[in-house]
Amino acid sequence: MTITAFTTAEKTNHNSHKFGFTLSPTNYGYWKTMIRPFLITNGLVGYIDGSIPCPSKTIAAQPAPTPNPEYTAWIANDAHIRMLLLSTISETSFKHVQGDTSSDIWLSLERAYAPHTSSREYTLKTQLLKIEMKPEETSATYIARAQEYSNALANIGEPMKEKDIVMLVISGLREEYNSLKSTLIARQPPVTCLELPGLLADHEYMIKKADTTIPAAQAFTTTTSHDSASSGSPLPADMLQSLQKLMTQLGVHVQPAQPQNQVFYTARGPPNRDRGRRGRGNFNNNNNNNNTNSQNNRNTCKPSS
């Protein structure tokens, strides 16, 4: 293969490409995924992986060695690729840049962010297998942490299956996500890594919304108890079904309040004095009548003189 220097048009085409972001200590996997296709498309990856090695400086000839034009072209091309790589590296990651060729820079970054050692593989797999959602951690932060471990494993050539990553993330969710866990695990087709953030974010929103209002179970019990006491009849079936459906969506399992015995009180007016007077009057009249009858009886029984 004959090596020739890049033309001005080729260099301009390379330099005009705009990359979405620069390399940082936390996004090496994304950076590699972004820049490697660019190198392959433009025929530059051979300088990175060593498939286009540096030729010798001179060519053996008589009576004396002569300069090798391919060596000069290779050095110029490699310097151009090296500048392209450096333009995609942030200041915080620049400290890991080492070497004089584009291949040296590529390998130094790989050693810094994706060292393929047995201890590194064990650490990453252990962190992912034991991952748990922290008490105050949001679902987005939790998933990003799991994705970071997953990307690091992929960078060292030990990627995990997507379905296994999803299952590990679901199993590590906090208790308030228990009502969602069984749904996500049993869903067909299985939940993907792209769907999981949205599903957890929706559930998280529902939890926060429920916390800022009257507790759902209390509101449901109060509503049913109040309506039953005021109207004397249960809620309509369609309304009760709608309330129960809403409680299920919120992840709260409730039961309608049991009817309680009620005591009814009636107003008691002041005592009727007339009634009392009439009662006492009748009593006196009865006594007078009794006395008269007794006197008559005595008179009747008395012998005549």
Task: Give the pLDDT of residue 62.
Answer: 74
What pLDDT, on the 0 to 100 scale, is given for residue 80? Answer: 96
What's the pLDDT at 116? 76
Contact 199, 177 (CB under 8 A): no
- In whole angstroms, give the CA distance from residue 86 to residue 90: 8
pLDDT of residue 256: 54
Residue 133 burial (CB count, 10 A): 21
Residues of the chain with pLDDT under 50: 214, 216, 223, 226-233, 275-281, 283, 300-305
> Given this model, what pLDDT does residue 86 score?
95
pLDDT (0 to 100) of residue 45: 95
76 touches 117 (CB < 8 A): no
pTM of the complete model: 0.53
What six digits make up the tokens of 176?
A: 């308030």
pLDDT of 220: 52
Q: Which two tokens stand for residue 189?
A: 């087709």
